[in-house]
Amino acid sequence: MLTPDLLQREYTTGGKPLWQITAETGIPRHIIAEIARELGIPLNAGRRAVTLDEAWLHEQYLDHMRSTADIASELGISYDTVTRNLTAYGIPIRPAGVHSRREMLTRLDATVPHDIRRAVDGGLHGWHRLQRFRTAMTFPTIEAAANHLGAHQSALVHQFQRLEHDIGAPLFKRSTPTRPMRPTRRGTALLRALDNADRPPTPTATTSTQKRPRN
């Protein structure tokens, strides 16, 4: 049951948004709002602003590339509160997208071969590109590989160029009228490493020391 003391503690003093109280109690938001009004507790008024530690927020958001939603979930506050603190401290807010979502990005263990890690770390589709490269190198031409994979040639070439950019070296030589497509020395080493990795290596887990907001 929602009592005046509970709402005062959780909503007014604790700064919890209604959606969080809903998640914790199972009581629909509109019912909580109606009960609050009946108890004489003003909504969105008189609540103390939640202030996060500037150094910690800077480290988590910029250094560890955590999203506002991820930080908000850890601290039990809304992502709007996190955004407000970022703005107040002059911390540049990243544009929306997967690269601002640390939990969606891959990080591989240091035991994984260097070129595989360079292709996969910090991206969403690195392992997919590697497997396509591995398959394509069994065909004489990009056209034949694209037909087998059901991909457009231009898309396949773009993916391989992205691999070469991430790894920092040419990985294959295009076919000519007299010679089939073939991997470079670096590409051959990459294929050899992939042969020893039958499945995507398990990403390492990164943790952070939680620091609760100041009220």
Domain 114-195 has CATH 1.10.1760.20: no
Say whether pLDDT at 123 is over 90: no
Q: What percent of the chain stands above pLDDT 70? A: 73
Please give the backbone phi and psi of residue 83, each rounded to the nearest 5 degrees, phi first.
-60, -40
Q: Do 153 and 147 form a contact (C-beta atoms < 8 A)? A: no
Say whether pLDDT at 199 is over 60: no
Q: Do 64 and 206 form a contact (C-beta atoms < 8 A)? A: yes
Q: Do 79 and 46 form a contact (C-beta atoms < 8 A)? A: no
DSSP 94: P
pLDDT digit string (tens) for 127-180? Answer: 888 888 999 999 999 999 988 888 778 878 888 988 998 899 999 999 999 999
Residue 139 and residue 143: Cα distance in Å, rounded?
9
Residue type (1 letter), 186: R
pLDDT digit string (tens) for 23-44? Answer: 777 777 777 778 777 777 776 6
Spell out the domain ranges in the chain: 4-38, 54-100, 114-195
Terminal-residue alpha carbon distance, the chain: 26
pTM of the predicted structure, to 2 decimals: 0.46
pLDDT digit string (tens) for 54-74? Answer: 888 888 887 777 777 767 766
Closest of 84, 126, 130, 83 to residue 104, by C-alpha: 126
What three-state secondary structure class fits 172?
A: strand
- 82, two tokens: 């996190």
Provide the pLDDT for residue 1. 58
202 versus 170: the higher-pLDDT residue is 170
Q: Do 144 and 158 form a contact (C-beta atoms < 8 A)? A: no
